[in-house]
Chain A
Amino acid sequence: MPILFNKYTLRTIYSLFLVFLLSSCSGAEADVQQTGYPPVFPDYTEVTVPSAFAPPRFRVTVPCEKQRVEFLAGQEQLVVKGSEEIRIPRRGWHKLVQTGTPAIEVRVAIKQEGRWIAYEPFNIYISRIPIDRYLTYRRISPGYSVYGAMGIYQRDLYTYREKPVIENSFAEGSCVNCHSYAAGDPDNMMFHIRGKQGGTVIIADGKTGFADLKTPQTLSAGVYPYWHPSGDYIAYSVNVTRQLFHSSPDKVLDVYDLASDLVIYDVKNDRLILPPQLQDSTIFETFPAFSADGKTLFFCGAVSSGEESDPLELRYSLYKTTFNSDDGSVGDLITKVLEIDGKSIAFPRPSPDGKRLMFTLSSYGTFPIWHPEADLYLMDLDSGRVRNTEELNSADTESYHSWSSNSRWIAFSSRRNDGLHTRPYITLLNEDGTFTKPFLLPQSTVSYYDDLLQSFNIPEFSKGSVVFSPRGLKKHSRPVSY
């Protein structure tokens, strides 16, 4: 008698029953064994996802009457069925992840014309390396000069929940852009508001401030930002920007600068510092980025040919100079770090651990999102070695990218799906310096991406949720000295 009620016996009986049930289902239903992985969207075959993460819901992209997917991790099994999508339940997924196995095996079968077709199983690898909980991005239509609805949103990566930081519906005709965090800290972040009620929102130590960074001495208000790791400074580019619309079918548009410089904003003292070394009218300085230790300021620069500069000929190199965080001053010596012949560098992003620097490389110009040839490259800051991160790049645009706070995860923008709508992808940096296969940010429904005609801009990791309300913004105004 005790044997019958022994928990191990019961568990064995239960497992055998499950195996019988599932194998009888799959055995009887799998009339055809298909070689190769199933065609799924998003492509989650052989990807590596963080352990604390929303389940990667997908669908099989070939027409079928039913889809049936088994997820196996150790002793745990989860079967999900659907006619259109595989909506993996969060609780079931987390049970699988909690088994601690390094990979979840996924077995996909579809029913077509009354027959079940089973595909080769694939793995979704589970990484225990933590990822910052939130991803912030702007959603905006990939348009021209008129913008419709847009907003900066923060997505909880552990769930599917997305909440707006700010939407441009709060002030008619406004544009919101260029959000940035100090080392992923939501209590130190900023973004711009253009148009009515325009200015820069700077949340410093959790307190909201609203500043106008335009001065008579600068070309514009602050544009591309980068926080100093201390949270005491923000480097900005200031730009005079134009658009160029192409008529030939293989291009759409270019955005270029007529002039650009760099400025430093002293957050604690509301002071704008205008280093003359970075206000050179013969050089277009842009895309500032502080090193992990805050002692170096990287930026991109292109030599101007004056008013005759052909935007299609401008190519940016990577420069650096020293930065003194005691007084916000910049070194006199500017060094060219990297120049790639016939190519243009954008978005230099040092990793928080100081070992690497990722950047975007395109044929020319300063706005790679409209360049299908734009790719991600990685530089080893110790050796100076540069490589094309081919495992991340596609035949279409890869552009903006950001590091997680532990320098292991990267979020980046890619137009690989259709060549126009930018989507956020995530990848893990392996110990050997290679990256895992990137995967598309999972959503609650796969159809979300089908109907969405907006792009995801500037995906940035953050460790916590931003607390901000657009109401009563003006009362947080802070005068800026320069």
Chain B
Amino acid sequence: MNKVFQHLRISRILFPAVFFVSVTLYFGVFHRFHLLYTEGMQLFLFSRDYFLETVLHPGGFADYASRFLIQFYRAPLVGGMIIAFLLVLLQLAVYKTARNLVKGKVSLPLTFVPSVFYWILLCNPNYTLAGLLAFVAMGWIAYIYTCIREERIRAVWGFLSLPLAWLLFGGSFPAAFLIMLFAELRMPGKISRYTFLAMAGGILLIAGLLLFTDLQRTPAAVFYGADYYRFSDYPHGVFISLWGSLPLVLGLLILLKKESRIRDIILTILITGITAWGLMSQWRGDKEKELSYLFAARRMDWHTVLSMSQKNMPNSLLALNTFNLALAATEKAGDLMFSVPQTTSGALILPEDMDMIFSSEIWFNLGMINESKRYAYESMMAIPDKQKSGFFLMRLAESELIAGNYEVARKYLNVLMKAPLYRKWAGRRLALCGNDIAVEEHPIYGPLRSRQPKNNIKVSATNFSESLQNILEDNQDNLVAANYRLMDRMLQKDVPGFCDMYAPRSLPVPRHYQEVLLLACHMGGTDPATLSIPLDQNLQNNLDRFVSEINISDIDRLEELFGQTFWYYAYFIQ
């Protein structure tokens, strides 16, 4: 008996502990860039105006508290721990509520079901922390109800807590209401009318408040109040299921009140299996990888971008764009460009209507600060819940600093100074405001300032080739643009065009550039030895081999032998 008791105690600590660690690792390690992205798409400010603006509507407190917590996603492990903590709090609320209602043993694994449900939901970044916070609060509000033995006090709690729950946490109050109803039916003694009437009164009060609150929002938005979902088309079915899961689980716990270790083991395996299946089906590994490229590019950490690409191929056009940006920024296109599969369209930059976030980095590094600023601004305006974004405000502040618009830069930076985790970054940039020399001597902003166009030139992502030409005509010292132009000619398979513009800046000539030059000689029937640029004899031999293999080998063999050459790209990639 003592062993069983001991076992139960260990389970009550061990299960939540294992759950906590699993959630922390899942989000903090395997989803860390999603957390960074989520944090970047908001900006929590320690200011009175921000507090009032956020809190003064139904559900506002949930929004405020969740945004406060999301700040800490900047350290993804901490972010993972925050999510884990809330999910464990939810499980604890279910467990403790069940203890009050079940006249027997509570099956511990089942108490994890709502938490697992929300864990899986949170894999989709459109479901927000505010929703989880609200759900946890409802669990504890309902738990308090179940603790109150005195009928009149229970009635008062039921009447007051529901409208208060809606005002503070938004539309999750049905979850608390359903448990309260359920609990009331389980209360010992006669069923009390007063408590039901009190709860009904609370619901009516909410209905009354709903009619007079915030006519500027859609009825659904007013009901939900807080931003449980990033977009306005709320998946009502999901939330109803979520709220319904609480009384359902409690009902099951009551049914399964008889202690059974084997049953609990089976339930544990079943729930763990469902969790694993749910997490794997929601796993956004591709997006995670793409975001890792984005954040590396934002830091201008080209080494990380290049080594990521060498370990695993860029998994999307956006990742490829970032890889090519790294090549242009580091002058490594000639060495590494075809070490990953390239495409004939969209390899360098995507059209505006397909992407603005990654492309903003490309324009920024090209020195097209206006364009980069526009992309960042438009991206911020497109954030579904209309928040300011730390990620984009930083870019806007930098852009204005580089352009010499110090008053606007100062404004953005002063806003960022009110966000504790951005303060240091903003403070350093504030010191640059008004100081042209300091900006020009800055290792990043100085070169970018000099890359800005001197005249009003036409640039667009749709006509990127023409844009690069215009940029170079305006400023031939723009090395990033020059590198891009060479890459563009190779991607367009424009061998003569490449040869016209190529002038080696150092020797030996990078491999892919030699491949182009050798191909030009081959096509023109010129002896490479007659060129003023020394070319590697081994590469010449390789080209000869390629030419002979084209006619005799199959595509797989050719890819195996020459897949990482310009020649293969030029002949076989459409």
Contacts and interface: CB of A to CB of B under 8 A. Distances in A.
A471 B455 contact: no
B217 A169 contact: yes
Contacts of A164: 216
Interface string B439-471: 000000000000011111111000000000000
A194 B26 CA distance: 43
A246 interface: yes
Interface in A407-435: 417-421
Interface stretch (A141-149, A177-185, A297-305, A359-367): A141-149
B241 to A, nearest CB: 24
A253 B47 CA distance: 32
B243 to A, nearest CB: 24
A450 B415 CA distance: 7
B105 interface: no
Contact of B216 (A245, A253, A447, A470): A470
B388 interface: yes
Interface residues of B, number: 43
B45 A451 contact: yes
Interface in B399-417: 403-405, 407-408, 410-411, 414-415
Contacts of A222: none
A103 B496 CA distance: 78
Interface in B366-390: 368-371, 374, 377-378, 380-383, 386, 388
Contact residues on A (Cβ < 8 Å of other chain), bracket = 35 or more
A246 B370 contact: yes
Contacts of B354: none
Contacts of A141: 377, 381
Nearest to A164: B216
A445 interface: yes
A252 B373 CA distance: 10
Given A146-B382, A470-B215, A471-B215, A448 B49 contact: yes
Interface in A213-269: 245-249, 251-253
Contacts of B374: 144, 245, 253
Interface centre among B49, B371, B415, B457 (most CB of A within 10 A): B49
Contact of A417 (B405, B407, B418): B407
Nearest to B356: A146
A419 B386 CA distance: 23
B383 A148 contact: yes
Given A148-B386, A447-B47, A247 B370 contact: yes
Given A143-B381, A249-B370, A170 B388 contact: no
A453 B218 contact: no
Contacts of A248: 370, 452-457
Contacts of B410: 418
A70 interface: no
A240 B392 CA distance: 31
Contacts of A249: 369-370, 403-404, 452-453
Contacts of A252: 370
A324 B383 CA distance: 49
B215 A447 contact: no
Given A248-B455, A249-B403, A445-B48, A418 B408 contact: yes
A417 B232 CA distance: 35
Contacts of B414: 450
Interface in A10-52: none
Contacts of A146: 378, 381-382
Nearest to B407: A418
Nearest to A448: B49
Interface in A136-165: 141, 143-149, 151, 164
Contacts of B194: none
A172 interface: yes
A167 interface: yes
Contacts of B388: 453
B252 interface: no
Nearest to B370: A247
Contacts of A143: 377-378, 381
Interface string B347-375: 00000000000000000000011110010
A381 interface: no
A248 to B, nearest CB: 4
Contacts of A245: 370-371, 374
A469 interface: yes
Nearest to A173: B232
Interface in B267-292: none
Given A245-B374, A247-B459, A451-B415, A420 B381 contact: no
A166 B217 CA distance: 10
Contacts of A144: 374, 377-378, 381
B221 interface: yes
A354 B408 CA distance: 39
Contacts of A451: 45, 47, 49-50, 415, 418
Contacts of A147: 381
Given A169-B221, A171-B218, A245-B371, A419 B407 contact: yes
Interface centre among A143, A248, A447, A448 (most CB of B within 10 A): A248
B294 to A, nearest CB: 19
A147 B382 CA distance: 7
Contacts of B381: 141, 143-144, 146-148
A247 B458 contact: yes
A421 B412 CA distance: 11
A171 B452 CA distance: 40
Interface in A294-334: none
A170 B386 contact: no
Contacts of B368: 247
Interface in B19-65: 45, 47-50
B461 to A, nearest CB: 12
A147 B386 CA distance: 10
A420 B221 CA distance: 32
A271 to B, nearest CB: 31
Interface in B419-454: 452-454
B378 A145 contact: yes
Contacts of A247: 368, 370-371, 453, 456-459
A166 B370 CA distance: 32
A137 B418 CA distance: 27
A147 B383 CA distance: 10
Contacts of A149: 386
A384 B415 CA distance: 47
Given A148-B381, A249-B370, A469 B215 contact: yes
B408 A447 contact: no
A171 B233 CA distance: 11
A364 to B, nearest CB: 13
Given A146-B382, A247-B458, 5 more contacts: A170-B215, A247-B456, A248-B457, A450-B411, A451-B50
29 contacts: A143-B378, A144-B377, A147-B381, A169-B217, A172-B232, A245-B371, A247-B370, A247-B371, A247-B457, A248-B370, A248-B453, A248-B454, A248-B457, A249-B404, A249-B453, A251-B370, A251-B456, A418-B407, A418-B410, A421-B408, A421-B411, A445-B48, A447-B47, A451-B45, A451-B50, A451-B415, A451-B418, A453-B411, A453-B415
Top 8 closest pairs, chain A to chain B, by CB: A418-B407, A167-B216, A148-B381, A149-B386, A146-B381, A248-B456, A249-B403, A146-B378
Interface of A: 141, 143-149, 151, 164, 166-167, 169-172, 245-249, 251-253, 417-421, 445, 447-448, 450-451, 453, 469-471
